[in-house]
């Protein structure tokens, strides 16, 4: 028999040489990592790529974009070294670095509490096939693309109020969406207006063959009117020739499934706070 060592390595879906387009899960992870990296760079932050993970840190509160995105499972024997490398990159003990850090895993991780992480949850990941037909938006809702700094600032206010995002409500304009976002060709951002008031927002990141829908939020007193769904449709169809993907909450899951999003699996999300 031939020596087992001579056998080629079987494809797992997360080898360093695995094409990004191997699965839609892999497309999503690289899309998410690319969005986080671009956001960190626009804030003057730092980025590190590795076969096991992509890391992006703005060094300040920046919503969900201070992120460690795992590109393969945490494997016994190497998991501790991986987590130590991630912690070293984000410099959790450095008082000059602020903002929470998110760890995104497509696989179960085991308990990371001993490494300083707190479990955020296991949200569903969804896929909307290309060619979906949107429902008409409510007639009183006006959807406009964000094309200037004033629009960015209005979108920030809606996001901060609609989620809400801890640490962002009282920060100056540009804390979440820097002006450079307007020049980023992969990014799309839309505001929904009722009269003269912005009430909902959604963004997309188009890369690696998908529209990743992010930052979908509606201010509390404007919910249950179909506004958030209309903005989600607009972001999901940023490039109508491509499928869309998104992470949802369990509360939001029925809305997305009604729209035609297919629930693929659950992710595992952890977070860590920093001193500032």
Contacts with 202 (C-beta within 8 Å, 6 or more apart), sequence order: 189, 190, 213, 214, 215, 216, 217, 228, 231, 232, 234, 235
In sequence order, which residues have a C-beta less than 8 Å from that of residue 250 and are 6 or more positions away? 123, 124
Which pLDDT value is given to residue 60?
A: 87
Distance, CA of 154 to CA of 150 (rounded, Å): 6
Residues paired with residue 200 on neighbouring β-strands, in sequence order: 192, 218
Distances (CA, A) of 133 to 43, 224, 225, 240: 36, 21, 19, 10
Query: What is the C-alpha separation between 263 and 245, in angstroms, rounded?
Result: 10
Instruction: Let me know whether 191 and 114 are in one domain.
Output: no
d(CA 69, CA 72): 9
Q: What secondary structure letter does DSSP report for 200? A: E
pLDDT of 6 reads 64
Specify if 9 maps to a domain. no
In a domain, 154, yes or no: yes
Q: Which residues pair with 121 in a beta bridge?
A: 269
pLDDT score for 166: 61
2 occurs within a structural domain:
no
On whether both 259 and 134 belong to a single domain, the answer is yes
Same domain, 139 and 227: yes
Q: Is residue 4 part of a domain?
A: no
Kindly give the confidence (pLDDT) of every residue in the chain, 276 residues in length, as a single tens digit, with 9 standing for 90 and above: 455 566 678 999 999 999 999 999 999 999 999 999 999 999 999 999 999 999 999 998 887 889 999 999 998 889 999 999 999 999 998 998 988 999 999 999 999 999 999 999 999 999 999 999 999 999 999 999 999 999 999 999 999 888 876 656 666 777 788 899 999 999 999 999 999 999 999 999 999 999 999 999 999 999 999 999 999 999 999 999 999 999 999 999 999 999 999 999 999 999 999 876
Residues 118 and 136 in one domain: no
CATH of the domain at 157: 3.40.630.30
120 plus 164 within the same structural domain:
no
Range of the domain at 35: 20-125+268-272
Residues 113 and 136 both lie in one domain = no
- The CA distances from residue 190 to 48, 74, 214, 225, in Å, are 30, 36, 11, 17
Q: How long, in residues, is the chain?
A: 276
Domain annotation covers residue 11: no
Instruction: For residue 193, count other CB atoms closer than 10 A to its CB.
Output: 16
Q: How many CA atoms does the CB half-sphere of 53 hold within 13 Å?
A: 26
User: Under DSSP, is residue 40 helix (H, G, I), strand (E, B) or coil?
Assistant: helix
Task: Tell how strand 268-272 and strand 141-145 pair up.
Answer: unpaired
Contact 104, 32 (CB under 8 A): yes
Tens digit of pLDDT for each residue in 180-206?
Answer: 999 999 999 999 999 999 999 999 999
- Taking the C-alpha atoms of residue 259 and residue 231, their distance in angstroms, rounded to an integer, is 12
| Edge-to-edge strand list for the sheet holding 67-70 | 46-49, 53-57, 67-70, 101-105, 268-272, 118-121
């Amino acid at each position: 028999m031939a020596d087992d060592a001579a056998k080629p390595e079987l494809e797992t879906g997360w080898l360093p040489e695995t094409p990004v387009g191997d699965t839609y899960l892999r497309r999503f992870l690289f899309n998410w990592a690319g969005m986080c990296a671009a956001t960190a760079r626009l804030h003057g932050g730092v980025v590190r790529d590795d076969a096991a993970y992509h890391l992006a840190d703005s060094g300040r509160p920046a919503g969900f974009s201070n992120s460690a995105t795992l590109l393969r499972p945490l494997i016994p024997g190497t998991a501790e070294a991986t987590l130590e490398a991630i912690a070293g990159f984000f410099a959790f003990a450095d008082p000059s670095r602020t903002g929470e850090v998110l760890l995104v895993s497509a696989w179960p991780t085991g308990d990371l509490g001993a490494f300083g992480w707190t479990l955020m949850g296991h949200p569903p990941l969804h896929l909307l096939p290309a060619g979906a037909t949107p429902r008409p938006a409510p007639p009183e809702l006006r959807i406009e693309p964000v094309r200037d700094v004033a629009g960015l600032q209005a979108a920030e206010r809606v996001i901060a109020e609609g989620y809400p995002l801890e640490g962002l409500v009282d920060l100056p304009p540009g804390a979440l969406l820097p002006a450079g976002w307007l020049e980023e060709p992969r990014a799309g951002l839309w505001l929904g207006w009722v009269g003269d008031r912005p009430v909902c927002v959604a963004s997309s990141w188009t890369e690696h063959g998908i529209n990743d829908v992010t930052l979908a939020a509606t201010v509390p007193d404007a919910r249950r009117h179909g506004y958030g769904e209309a903005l989600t449709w607009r972001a999901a169809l940023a490039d109508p020739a491509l499928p869309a993907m998104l992470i949802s909450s369990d509360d939001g899951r029925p809305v997305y499934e009604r729209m035609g999003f297919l629930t693929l699996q659950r992710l595992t999300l952890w977070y860590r706070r920093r001193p500032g």
